Amino acid sequence: MVTAAQQHTASGPQAPRTFPEGFLWGSATASYQIEGAAAEDGRTPSIWDTYARTPGRVRNGDTGDIATDHYHRWREDVALMADLGIGAYRFSLAWPRIQPTGRGPVVQKGLDFYRRLVDELLDKGIQPVATLYHWDLPQELEDAGGWPERATAERFAEYAALAADALGDRVRTWTTLNEPWCSAFLGYGSGVHAPGRTDPVDALRAAHHLNLAHGLAVQALRDRVPADAQCSVTLNIHHVRPLTGDDADAEAVRRIDALANRVFTGPMLRGAYPEDLLKDTATLTDWSFVRDGDLRQIQQPLDFLGVNYYTPTLVSRADGSGTHTSDGHGRSTHSPWPAADEVAFHQPPGETTAMGWAVDPSGLYDLLGRLAADFPGLPLVITENGAAFDDYADPSGNVNDPARISYLRGHLAAVHQAIADGADVRGYFLWSLLDNFEWAHGYSKRFGAVYVDYPTGTRIPKASARWYSGVARTGVLPGA
């Protein structure tokens, strides 16, 4: 018997699937991964500039100093999106390009770059979706303590107000944070992301102050943008599964779900931290950094929840057969999972991408169903989904990537099935528009629908880009 969760991945011929009218089809990028121009027009270092320039942190010593040179080639990149029929572009603002020290006045040249970008998008009929923070904290704020400090959340609210004042007349969709779990737990717990610190208590403090930053930023946006503008946050909700049906593995799922997901959805969407999370981490902290009134500030009405999904997470009670380095988030001697030493992570079975991540669309289907049940009435948007493969340009200059097309087909089928089963999913953003700087992996992993020849900057739409273009233009997922 094929379950509902498996129908969309069942083998055999499948009929075309039509998405709802008005479904938003987009692509996504992040500022540090594509912009380059690291020291131009007043931009100062972010934590990722510092991290990438530290020997041993990033593969091959790669940095984002040039990246894909989007800062100079933005018009070409917008033309690519228009040619592909993409209806929306989710990009992030580089905080140190706009407000170099993280406090005080803005740099108009930095804002002018985003004004030009947004105007060009609008001129081409592409909806701009602006993310305020995709991990590039101004280094000066990190030097003052970074996200473990409350002051960083307060500075973020000021920055959000500046961005809204400059772009609020053009941008109607805003996201406060991208994947705060990564910022907190990979940046301050395992150290595999910038700023590379490894203190579990700082990771929990950072998570709270990122939550607070989100709430304060939503309030700043609401005070400045038109009433019809939308505010959201993007979370990389982990779809956590047990290795076996044992109660001990179910307990491992509960513990990781608290640290990966409910540490953010609790305060943001329910106005409270989960009691089990507080109990689990009591040996590390009493959470006294949560002040009276913080939770009211954090819980702000959202127009939709952004969901990033790539692969499921498989856990068990630790028995020596797995470790936290099997969680798909990078290798470190320090865990990104505070007070969870008794949990082991395992490689899910089946096909994998170049990142070593299992290809499993059923995880996305299950995740959307859970979110729809847990937060009824809150629309969902897939703000990132995609895969890295070992792409290359053949002698004729073409880039054929059938594995990516297969990945996208399966995951879009999962989204379609979730909608049919009642999930209110309003849009899908392919990650990523361009091959780019893939954080600690440098330029060794290619997620783009558009191939980038890094020495020349030449852009070549891959076969998957043309395939996705057909889906975006018609709203129909072709049969397989």
Burial bucket for residue 223 (CB in 10 Å: 0-12, 13-18, 19+): exposed
For the chain, the maximum distance between any two Cα atoms, rounded to a whole number of angstroms, is: 63
Residue 438, token pair as written in the block: 């893939």
**First-to-last C-alpha distance (Å) of the chain:** 21
Q: Which residue has the tokens 């305060």?
A: 267
**Known active-site residue 179:** yes
Name the phi and psi angles at 210, rounded to 5.
-70, -40
∠ CA 67-328-390, nearest 5°, is: 50
Which positions ≥6 away from 466 have C-beta within 8 Å? 84
Q: d(Cα 90, Cα 308) in Å, to the nearest integer?
A: 13
User: Of these residues, 35, 142, 149, 384, which one is catalytic?
Assistant: 384
Task: Please identify which of the residues 35, 120, 149, 179 carries the catalytic annotation.
Answer: 179
Q: Which residues carry out catalysis? A: 179, 384
